[in-house]
Amino acid sequence: MTLTSILNSDSTGSLSGIELKTLLLCLLAAFVCGAIIAAAYTLSEKGRKFSGFSITLVVLPAIVAAVILMVGSDTARALSVAGTFTLVRFRSVPGDARDITSIFFGMAAGLAAGMGYLTAGLLFTIVVALIFLILYRGPFGEKKDRVRELKITIPENLNYEGTFDDLFAAYTDSVDLIRVKTTNLGALYELAYQVQLKNGTSQKEFIDKLRTRNGNLNITLGIVPIDHNKL
């Protein structure tokens, strides 16, 4: 099956005109694509409500389609497309990767609708929206934001091997002892762990439990520092 444009062109390849029916069909298809994109964007994160940006995603493909429909020559069309895509940078500054991807997604769907490839545009939108949802709702590329660096200071006479195991089992999913060093002229040990806290763990409660084991000495719990040598 060949997917062709529904727009009529003259012998030079330029559009000879836009019929009202054609205009309405292209805009309707663009709005449908926009609604699918907005739904995918909204559902891509649990608990996210329908927002003003979602409404923008509904309208954006229709705007892009209208721009393409109103342009006749291929040269002007290329310039208009380039100018349209430069608008992404105004949103990319405050937005995140999901916002930027959604804008590109909406523009691509609008381009397909504006050039008359309605079936291809709808298929493209549905397929990419499904992939978009699978990637963002699934574990793919998930950042373990519950990973923390834990530093515990203990007196030299405390055997740290096994002392905190029951607390680690109760409050963490994984624990790795990454460094042990002496401080205060050997009177104290500083233990450095990389821990992944269990979902819903109270950090204050976890630290309070640890304090009862280390004699109320220093405990630090923070994000894992970035190793710039690996970047």
Q: What is the CA radius of gyration of the chain?
A: 28
User: Which residues have C-beta within 8 Å of that of residue 106, sequence separation ≥ 6?
Assistant: 33, 34, 37, 57, 60, 61, 64
pLDDT band at residue 229, thresholds of 50, 70 and 90? very low
Phi, psi of 181, deg, nearest 5:
-145, 155
Domain boundaries, the chain: 20-137, 147-224
Q: In the prediction, which pLDDT does 198 show?
A: 87
Q: Name residue 197's beta-bridge partners.
A: 172
146 is written with which tokens? 């519950």
Tell me the pLDDT tens digit for each residue of 85-141.
655 555 444 556 778 888 888 888 988 888 888 899 899 999 999 998 888 777 665
Cα gap 149→120, rounded to integer Å: 49
Q: Is pLDDT larger for residue 135 or for residue 180? A: 180
pLDDT band at residue 153, thresholds of 50, 70 and 90? very high
147-224 architecture in CATH? 2-Layer Sandwich (3.30)
Identify the weakest region by mean pLDDT among 4-18, 146-160, 203-217. Answer: 4-18
What's the average model confidence in pLDDT over 151-161?
90
Asked if the model's pLDDT at residue 213 lies above 50, the reply is yes
Whole-model pTM above 0.75?
no
